[in-house]
Structure 1
Amino acid sequence: MMEPVSASQIGVAMAASLVLWWFSTGAILWLVRRPRAAAGWTLGLSSLVAVIALIGLAVVARDQSVFGAYWAFGFALTVWGWHELGFLMGKITGPRRTPCPPTASGWMRFRVSAETVIHHEIALVATAIVIAALAWGQPNQTGTLTFALLLAMRLSTKLNIFLGVRNPPITFLPSGLTYLQTYFRRARFNALFPLSLALSVIAAILLGHAATDAATSPGMAIGACLMMALALLGLLEHAFLMMPSPDRTLWGWALGDDDKQSRADIILAAAGERDR
């Protein structure tokens, strides 16, 4: 039986996950708001970094040490960040790049909404498969599980936004993707929301148990700690869909001082209020 990780190690891992989440989100938001002339080198350089991260995931999958868990977690976040950067820059979204038809409802609204992001979702699933293949049969699965967790949280968020939330994440959308706001729906509640919260809590509990189980190796335990923090952050992000979000408090340095909130509220009032 192995000695469980200490409370200080758990605290360091969770703090590291929080800092990486905060900084990587801010860095992406800052980069997508740079002048158009910088888009080419930004995407090119980030693509190179993403390839290096994929290679890194294949290498550290063989390393079941504590450092191996940190590296795998960081590499997975890097690849995820590259996808988010490409999406927010409008490079890979979906075949539909126009506002939601005013008459769309029910299945038609779901179909046209899916058409705005389907290429990106397919790319994410394909990348998850590649990462899983790179780490297949290896002792360090932190990278694979981290990417899978991010993918699950993204899908849950997207479905909740489609069904309706009080506070759609309009702050994060750059000017080139403002048409996506017309697909958002404001609502006081949707049936999926409590299930999303419950699943986030269950995931965090299971990961916390794995992190403190004496039968878990130190590397796997730290990986579980990192992912537990990510699951809790996902829970928090879901909660912010139904309450005022501190986006500008957390990432004001990356978002700039444009008055997007008021403009987006007007768009949502015009295009989405009918769905309440």
Structure 2
Amino acid sequence: MAATLAAILFALFVWWFSTGLVIYLDGLPRETFKWSMLGATVLLGLSWYGLRASSDDTTTGGAYLAFASALGCWAWHEISFYMGYVTGPRRHPCEEGCRGWRHLGHAFQVSLWHELAILASFGVVAALAWGGANEVGFRTFVILWWMHESARLNVFLGVRNINAHFLPPHLAYLKSFLTVKPMNLLFPVSITLSTAVCAVLGTEAAFTTDPFTRAANTFLATMMALAILEHWFLVLPVPVEALWNWSMRSRGAHPRHEPSKHRLTPAAALRSAGQE
């Protein structure tokens, strides 16, 4: 039980802290971005090494290393997008009244390079971690991709909470791709699929006697649970953004709380980058 709780708390802390760190770094002066990007690139290299080193390590430590390495790979994509290094060919909002397939095409354009970079990372992560005895890193990356794409599509199609005041000023044009609706038809599908996968992973973690398998599935189940939670935050009136108020200090003395009933949580804002 203690080992399971430790794995859950580790995953929760990394999710919370990494989200806030990206927001904090992105609020610093633009001249610091190159150093943040350099640090993220070094982390990416270390993460690739970690994935390779842990690919055949079936100890609990190997599960931790693979999980953290996958998160390090994903962090590079978040930072490179939010700092404007890897975005897309379109960097301006849609005109008023742009709808339908044309609007969808514009939404893909704002994050095209970002999405292609993620696909390239899939290939690298698969080459380093897929097929080995320890696939925690690869599976974690798959879940992160699912969280990203599902949130991205749901926010584009329409959810209740879209006031993205955590978005940096240089990405303000993304707001034209956010749609206000109580819910959309994709939302229940996303929740149902995520819940089913989470239940399977949680059951495997609960009933296995192998420490590695328990840690691995606990990490994966926790990330799926966070994906479900982030989706619910998109439609429920919960002021969860208070968890990341500290990350806004880089943009001023106090975070800007706009008097609106529509909010997009910081974590969901990061997941849904590019159209989201």
User: What TM-score do the two structures reach when normalised by structure 1?
Assistant: 0.89
Correspondent of 2:256 among 255, 259, 264: 259
Task: Give the CA deviation at 1:172.
Answer: 2.9
Structure 1, unaligned stretches of length 5 or more?
Answer: 1-6, 266-276
Correspondent of 1:121 among 110, 115, 134: 115
Give 2:97's aligned residue.
103
Secondary structure of the residue aligned to 2:221 is: helix
Give 1:176's aligned residue.
170
Q: 1:186-235 CA distances to partner (integer Å, 9 max, x unpaired)?
A: 00110000111111111110111221343x63212211101111111111
Q: 1:18-40 CA distances to partner (integer Å, 9 max, x unpaired)?
A: 11111111111111111112111
1:45 and 2:55 equivalent?
no
Cα separation, 2, equivalents of 1:248 and 1:238: 14
CA contact (8 A) 1:99 1:180 kept: yes
Judged with a 3 Å threshold, the aligned counterparts in structure 2 of structure 1 residues 143 and 219 are, in CA distance, closer, same or farther, namely same
Equivalent AA in structure 1 for residue 237 of structure 2: P
| Identity across matched positions, percent | 36
Matches within 5 A, 1:61-100: 61-100=55-94
Structure index of larger Rg? 1
Equivalent AA in structure 1 for residue 40 of structure 2: S
Cα separation, 2, equivalents of 1:182 and 1:134: 38
Give 1:222's aligned residue.
215
User: What TM-score do the two structures reach when normalised by structure 2?
Assistant: 0.89
Give 1:156's aligned residue.
150
Cα separation, 1, equivalents of 2:244 and 2:84: 21
Cα separation, 1, equivalents of 2:17 and 2:96: 37
Paired residues, number: 258
Task: Give the CA deviation at 1:103.
Answer: 2.9
Cα separation, 2, equivalents of 1:168 and 1:206: 31
Task: Give the CA deviation at 1:108.
Answer: 0.6
Task: Give the CA deviation at 1:264.
Answer: 11
Structure 2, unaligned stretches of length 5 or more?
Answer: 263-276
